[in-house]
Amino acid sequence: MINIIKVFVVGLVHAEITLINGEDITLAKKYIIGEEEIRKMTINMLVDTGSLNLCINEEI
């Protein structure tokens, strides 16, 4: 008799993403603010591979 054992290695997955303020993009398209004034932030996040939505803390 042969026993086959499958081992799944679970690790953490991180992604670097850029968050851009949507209202600032709209204002820049209307020439109310310059493109250099668009607020954006690049952060390293832990990925939940089974999630369907992303929640962002208000402080960010």
Q: Using the structure block, give the residue that is written with the tokens 């054992």.
A: 5
The whole-number pLDDT of residue 60 equals: 73
Q: Using the structure block, give the residue that is written with the tokens 């390293």.
A: 44
Q: What is the pTM of this model?
A: 0.65
Domain count, the chain: 1
On whether residue 23 sits in a domain, the answer given is yes
On whether residue 18 sits in a domain, the answer given is yes
Question: In whole angstroms, what is the distance from residue 45 CA to residue 50 CA?
Answer: 15
Which residues, including other chains, have CB under 8 Å from residue 44's CB and lie 6 or more apart?
A: 14, 15, 16
Residue 34 in tokens: 């310059």
Q: What is the pLDDT of residues 9-55, one digit of tens each?
A: 567 888 888 999 999 999 999 999 999 999 999 988 888 878 888 78
For residue 54, give the amino acid letter. Answer: L
On whether residue 40 sits in a domain, the answer given is yes
User: 39 lies in which domain range?
Assistant: 13-47
Stretch (H or E) spanning 27:
helix 22-29
